[in-house]
A and B are shown apart, each in its own frame.
Chain A
Amino acid sequence: MNVLTDNSELFLNGFKTTLVLFVISAFFALILGTIVAGMRVSPAPAMRAAGTFYVNAVRNTPLTLILAFFALGYPRLGLPYIDFMTAAIIGLSLYTATYVSEAIRSGINTVSVGQSEAARAIGLPFMQTLTLIVLPQAFRSVVPPLFSVFIALLKNTTVAAGFSVAEAGAIRATLSERGEPLLPGLLWVALIFVVLVLGILTPLQRYLEKKWKVAR
């Protein structure tokens, strides 16, 4: 307990950064992932190909390499400067979006073809058929896998600690600098992650599942 109370500012700041990283990345991953899922079911072959290429390329690359690219490779390209936090957000968003896209695409496949046929039959173009009819129904059936993706994202944020972002994964390094015992420190970090998942994400998932219970 002493490790936690003696270093409370370290834990507080670390997890604050983790949550900021998580919320912003989850937001962009959800938007980008939805767009990519839409591209992958589009009637235009070029859109489908672009979506598929993006998912395959990014999903098959280790997250560490993606973050390394944005933290270390990108600054050498002579493009506008981004700080490590922004780099981590971009990397995490791009990476997580591929998983979001696949979860949503599986949801799209659960919506019967008749729904989109009926939408097309009253004259809705592809975009409106997707956004008004198909996606709202697809989201309902992918709440559980989507939350698995977001729980993974919350834990993946610790990878950013390796690239100079002072979030929860970096707490250990500072603790050892201060001469604190390592194991209790790590256990506290792990415990707080469990509390975040069980205390925030799981209730949110349960709430959405209940709210969006599919009436068929």
Chain B
Amino acid sequence: MTNPEQATVLVELKHVNKHYGALHVLQDINLQVAKGEVVVVIGPSGSGKSTLCRAINRLETIDDGSITIEGKELPKEGRDLATLRADVGMVFQSFNLFAHKTILENVTLGPIKVKGVSKADAEKTALALLERVGVGKQAAKLPAQLSGGQQQRVAIARALAMKPKVMLFDEPTSALDPEMINEVLDVMVELAKEGMTMVVVTHEMGFARKAADRVVFMADGQIVEEATPTEFFTNPQSARAKDFLSKILTNG
């Protein structure tokens, strides 16, 4: 576990604002993620946490402020933006595996088309990654033939195949049946242990406790609280965080 003050800053958001019409969905967001750090973003629905996550690889544009990765401002569009996205892995709530391609093709597409890796090398790496996330046997199948948990693990392998500098997880377990949540979380915990830099939007407090270096609590478009998981769960400072935790922890 690294200390953000000493380590190199990988992702930095400064005074980021975004509006959806009248709704001020991101309000003056400042956030630093250090290399190797695992930041878990939690908060009630509609708090802007998914938008924040998606803004980091510019799937959402921002109105003002700056987002930098390794000190470089996110390019606005075009090939520069595509190049940057190749270094930022993303895992979606609804998996979004390419429906017309096999599991293996899903994982090799990026390395072959974007990084120019040879097909043979890409397949070798892909099979190793699929094996690692426990779906090696499914390589020849189509996404629709896999369970949700398997699909999401493939999605993680697809992102990892690009050898990203940072991985973004946008509620990766929210669309899963309860019995499949852990198989995905286990893969994520492994990744965190191996030192991957991660920004994880989730409702899984267990994952936050187990793997997070820092918890960021968002409400109404603002970062209300930032703390280590232990501090946050045992001694939340703000009324919003106390209220939120009382609601979810009674059910847990």
Contact = CB atoms under 8 A, between A and B. Distances in A.
Contacts of B87: 123
B99 A215 contact: yes
A216 B99 contact: yes
A124 B114 contact: yes
A204 interface: no
B82 interface: yes
Interface in B89-116: 89-90, 92, 94, 96-100, 109-110, 113-114
A123 B96 contact: no
Interface residues of A, number: 22
A114 B151 CA distance: 14
16 contacts: A112-B96, A114-B96, A118-B90, A118-B155, A120-B85, A121-B57, A121-B59, A121-B85, A121-B90, A121-B159, A122-B110, A123-B110, A123-B162, A124-B110, A216-B99, A216-B144
A3 interface: no
A137 B100 contact: yes
Interface string A136-168: 110010000000000000000000000000000
Closest 10 CB pairs of A and B: A123-B86, A122-B110, A118-B96, A114-B96, A121-B90, A123-B114, A215-B144, A125-B82, A123-B85, A215-B142
A113 to B, nearest CB: 9
Contacts of B88: 121
A122 B92 contact: no
Given A128-B113, A215-B144, A120 B99 contact: no
B164 to A, nearest CB: 9
A109 interface: no
Interface residues of B, number: 33
B237 interface: no
Most buried by B among A114, A117, A122, A132: A122
B83 interface: yes
A124 B82 contact: yes
Nearest to B144: A215
B145 interface: yes
Interface of B: 57, 59, 77-79, 82-90, 92, 94, 96-100, 109-110, 113-114, 142-145, 155, 158-159, 162
Interface string A17-43: 000000000000000000000000001
Contacts of A120: 59, 82, 85
A64 interface: no
B109 A122 contact: yes
A204 B74 CA distance: 47
A77 to B, nearest CB: 38
Contact of B159 (A43, A119, A122): A122
A133 interface: yes
A122 B85 CA distance: 6
A133 B114 contact: no
Nearest to B85: A123
A151 to B, nearest CB: 26
Interface in A151-188: none
B109 to A, nearest CB: 7
